[in-house]
Structure 1
Amino acid sequence: MAVGRTLLFLSMVSALVSPLISPVSTSYTKPCLPGWVLFNDHCYRITPEKLTFNAAEAFCQGFANGNGRGHLASVHDDRENDFIAQLASLTGIGGRHGWVWIGLNDAQKPGEFVWTDGTAGSYRNWSPGEPTAYGEDYVAIRPMDGRWNDGSANKRAVCKMPFGDISSMASLACIN
């Protein structure tokens, strides 16, 4: 009999309390696509192969979400610069000659560097003696020390885009 009363009591409590408790969602969204890494409200990834600067920018623009399109990474402070250098190092890019494209360039007007994503910013982390005026319009970061150099050869690159719900993200780029 005591068991029956206990079950009745628990049923009544459950009936009274259940409407007061909000259901807990077991689903969640990831802010970045697979292969991308979240840092400071942006998703980053390293290109799988070496590309020209323009081909790397086109590759990055092949990714989009509801919050924006990808571009070569713009860098706005030491923390972001260090993050990008570490991300590139973790993908196996390193040493004195391991460089990765970022989105800074002076291709339109020599000496006037702009970001491919159109953001403003005065942060720079040039290697000593850089930039040079040898017709090298595009900027790369060296993962070993986070320093920048203007250059022209094919390199791997770091893409950046605002984070968003991956259910609204589309990958338009072909990845081999």
Structure 2
Amino acid sequence: MGIFLSGQKVCFADLKHPCYKMAYFQELSSRVSFQEARLACESEAGALLSLENEAEQKLIENMLQNLTKPGTGISDGDFWIGLWRNGEGQTSGACPDLYQWSDGSSSQYRNWYTDEPSCGSEKCVVMYHQPTANPGLGGPYLYQWNDDRCNMKHNYICKYEP
């Protein structure tokens, strides 16, 4: 049984689009912290996923849906993306504005789940992927974003510029 179910890069026919890699680990013990995920992407000349707009968000959602078709073995497990917040002791009002993309992207696109980001000690962002969870106030815990503690262990998505 392979632990690393999905590590292949997905590229598109034209060379104008980035390539992506979904790193999904069925074994919880194999999942990684934000920094480990960031370094893993950078070690392959990529970066943790930055999202430019809703079209790119939908593209990633479609790729995850293809990964999670019945029988693939992929179930719950959030994915780190490259959004994180720097700085200590910030007032919560300013907090959402303090998030930045680790690859230097200036994209202002955000897809927070209801009541997120909660800020505080949670500084690194995941894309929810919990198909078996009961929906919350903001609907299913699927594809929207949540800030989490950076040392939590998750899957991750890399992006490789053309």
Tell me, what secondary structure is at the counterpart of 1:154? coil
Structure 1 residues 122-151: Cα deviation after superposition (integer angstroms, max 9, x where no partner): 100100000002311101112453210001
Q: 2:148 aligns with which of 132, 146, 151?
A: 151
The residue type paired with residue 76 of structure 1 is: E
**Where do residues 75-154 of structure 1 align in structure 2 (5 Å cutoff)?**
75-92=51-68, 93-95=74-76, 98-108=77-87, 111=95, 112-143=98-129, 145-152=142-149, 153-154=152-153
* Structure 2 CA distance for aligned equivalents of residues 56 and 128 of structure 1: 25
Aligned position for 1:12:
none
Distance 1:45 1:150 in 2: 21
- Using a 3 Å threshold, how does the CA distance of structure 1 residues 77 and 94 change in structure 2: closer, same or farther? farther
Unpaired runs of 5+ in structure 2?
1-6, 26-30, 69-73, 132-141
CA contact (8 A) 2:53 2:107 kept: no
- The CA distance in 2 between the partners of 1:107 and 1:60, in whole Å, is 20
Bigger Rg over Cα: 1
Task: Report the Cα distance in structure 2 between the residues aligned to 1:156 and 1:82, rounded to whole angstroms.
Answer: 19
Alignment of 1:52-71 (within 5 A): 52-64=33-45, 70-71=46-47
Structure 1 length normalisation: TM-score? 0.63
Please, which runs of 5 or more residues in structure 1 have no aligned partner? 1-33, 65-69, 164-176
The list of structure 1 runs, each at least 4 consecutive aligned residues, that deviate by more than 6 angstroms after superposition, is none
- Give the structure with the higher percent helix: 1
CA contact (8 A) 1:107 1:138 kept: no
Deviation at 1:121, TM superposition (A): 1.3
- Percent identity between the two aligned chains: 28
Offset, 1:94 = 4.5
> Could you tell me which amino acid in structure 2 is paired with residue 150 of structure 1?
D
